Amino acid sequence: MSSTLTPRARARARQSPATPRGARPLRLFGERLSLLVRPRTLALCLVLVAVCVLTLVVSVAVGDYEIPLPAVPAAVAGYGERLDVFFVQGVRLPRALTALGVGAALGIAGAVFQSLSRNALGSPDIIGFTSGAATGAVAAILVFGASRVAVSLGAIAAGLATAALVYLLAMKNGVQGYRLVLVGIGVSAMLGAVRDYLMTRAELTEALGAQIWMIGSLNGRGWPEVVAVWVCLAVLGPLLVGLGQRLRFMELGDDTARGLGVPTGPTQAIALAGASALTGAAIAVAGPVGFVALAAPQLARRLLRTGGTTLVGSALMGAALLVVADLVAQRALAPTQLPVGVVTAVIGGSYLIWLLYTEWRGRRA
């Protein structure tokens, strides 16, 4: 997490409870970039990377046409049996890489939204940003008969517009978490009504295609989708990770953050815009895959045993969750392939019920 604060603010930050215990500063490029690294965080990140790599290899190897694991590296490089190369490079590898990129994007976006709202439910799924992007894509499909590229652009534009609307409606002496969540839920409900109306007015084949897209799926994803999501992640990911230190301080309260030298208004605006754009890009590629943005940041926080923002851990957790869910979607009812959104909904819905139950028990205790 980068530190763009003044030297005096950095000195005060060392005494702040937002700084993780046991963290050691790692400075890069002089004073321009400072990372706080904990041994536990590093160990978990390495484990998540190993899970992602292992699942990717298995996803590439298994299927109706199985490829021996020793032959996978050669097929990735373009050597070996012709069918091996075709299935690896043309079908399975781009799908797995898309899953990793979409999961990482949703993990980062969810962590940013939850940090700004200071609420475990403050994810793009709950507060309307996912709904906005999905409504834009459905309108492009049903009203304009748009191509895949136009549908993607419609999803991104609608997601950003929804983010701006929710931000403006929730802004009163700053953006408070509960207002952001409540306004987002209201906007999401209205957008859901718009989508339902469009579905009732559409032809059967178009409505069926839109419904499949709305579930969230990685079927048929190729290299253009890989490039799109990873370029967005490469541009916006470092920007949001660079705001991680500021987001930690803002979780302590706006007054405390200002005392530490954090410009809360611009930080909120930049973080919301970046996270909304990442959400829109992920939805444009894979559809509104549910609950990854909700569960990944919370799981990362609990495993790391920290109450602060964990953007890198959330990204890796989101990538691991989605690539594993996609493998389950492909093989659970083989040869029939499920949309990955079905699997994430089951996992995420169960997690949401558990989260609400633990919150309820904590209040009663």
- Say if pTM beats, i.e. exceeds, 0.75: yes
pLDDT of residue 115 exceeding 80, the answer is yes
- Most confident region among 47-51, 65-69, 162-166, 181-185 by mean pLDDT: 47-51
Phi and psi (nearest 5°) for 78? 95, 15
Inter-CA distances, 164 with 44, 58, 246, 357, Å: 35, 41, 21, 32
DSSP string, 233-291: HHHHHHHHHHTHHHHHHHTT-HHHHHHTT--HHHHHHHHHHHHHHHHHHHHHHH----S
pLDDT of residue 17 exceeding 90, the answer is no
pLDDT at 324: 94
C-alpha 338, offset from chain centre: 21
Domain holding 150: CATH number? 1.10.3470.10
| Digit-coded pLDDT (tens) for 219-258 | 888 888 899 899 999 999 999 988 888 888 888 877 787 8
pLDDT top residue among 254 and 292: 292
User: Which residue's structure tokens are 């389950």?
Assistant: 328
Q: Is residue 84 part of a domain?
A: no
Q: Is residue 190 part of a domain?
A: yes
pLDDT at 323: 94
Give the whole-angstrom CA distance, residue 216 versus residue 287. Answer: 4
Q: Is residue 353 part of a domain?
A: no
Domain count, the chain: 1
Give the whole-angstrom CA distance, residue 290 versus residue 346. Answer: 9
Q: Is residue 183 part of a domain?
A: yes
pLDDT of residue 13 exceeding 50, the answer is no
- Model confidence at 2, pLDDT cuts 50, 70, 90, reads very low
Hey, which residues does 24 pair with through a beta bridge? Answer: 37
pLDDT top residue among 151 and 109: 109
Q: Is residue 346 part of a domain?
A: no
Hey, which residues does 336 pair with through a beta bridge? Answer: 333
Asked if residue 22 lies in contact with residue 40, where contact means CB atoms within 8 angstroms, the answer is: yes
Question: If you ran DSSP here, which 8-state letter would residue 338 be given?
Answer: -
Q: Is residue 85 part of a domain?
A: no
Q: Is residue 182 part of a domain?
A: yes
Q: Is residue 280 part of a domain?
A: yes
pLDDT of residue 44 exceeding 90, the answer is no
| Digit-coded pLDDT (tens) for 120-159 | 777 787 777 788 888 888 888 888 776 777 877 888 888 8
Range of the domain at 185: 7-77+94-333
| Digit-coded pLDDT (tens) for 301-358 | 888 877 667 888 899 999 999 999 999 998 888 787 888 888 988 887 787 788 777 7
